[in-house]
Amino acid sequence: MKKKFIKSISLLSILIISLLIPNSTSFAYVFWNGPISTPKSIGIYCQSLAYSSQINTYAKKWNQCPEVYLYESNSSIAKIHSLVSSTSSGSYATTYYYGDDNKSIVFYKAWQTSSTAIQNETIVHEFGHALGLAHTQSYNNSMSVMREFGFNYKAYPLSDDKAGISALY
């Protein structure tokens, strides 16, 4: 969830996880949910044709992590679905969890009206959630596309994100 102004519910999860794991300052990435069961074969499907090329292109930036491979598939076998909605929300986009192998991303009106740079970084961010990452700890914002607020203007996984994927998969 890339929020514009208000804190997301994921922050609570981060705080709880931090309390449960000793020495949590030794890393920054945080897991949101379990890994996708077929990390080297992750079908993605965007149902909004006007945006599918852009969304799939930036989703596949995660293929810079050798542990995962995302490819465009048909809807029936896709494990990560996406769509663009004209609905207004408090956020640019939200990733919904229906199971480790069933995630759905909705990009809202604020995303549509944002700059291309913000759109692209938000795409990478949301697919990071879909792969199982939560927001990073804030002190590592400059090393992660999974920062909760603000942007690095780098639309690809950064060092903290790659470490998180490596640990998860």
| Residue 105 binds to Zn ion (criterion: CB under 5 A) | no
CB 145, CB 156: distance < 8 Å: yes
Nearest to 120 by CA among 79, 88, 157: 157
| Residue 1 binds to Zn ion (criterion: CB under 5 A) | yes
Q: Which residue is nearest to Zn ion (CB)?
A: 1
Which strands make up the sheet holding 91-97, listed edge to edge?
2-3, 91-97, 103-107, 80-84, 42-46, 70-72
Task: For residue 42, report the phi and psi dihedrals to the nearest 5 degrees.
Answer: -110, 100
Report the alpha-carbon distance of residue 17 to residue 11 in Å, rounded: 10
One character per residue 2-31, x = contact with Zn ion (rule: CB under 5 A): x-----------------------------
Beta carbon nearer to Zn ion, 41 or 83: 83
Least separation, in Å, of the C-beta of 90 and Zn ion?
A: 12
Q: Segment near Zn ion (CB under 5 A), from 1-9, 105-113, 136-144, 154-162? A: 1-9
- Which residues would be at the binding site for Zn ion (CB under 5 A)? 1-2
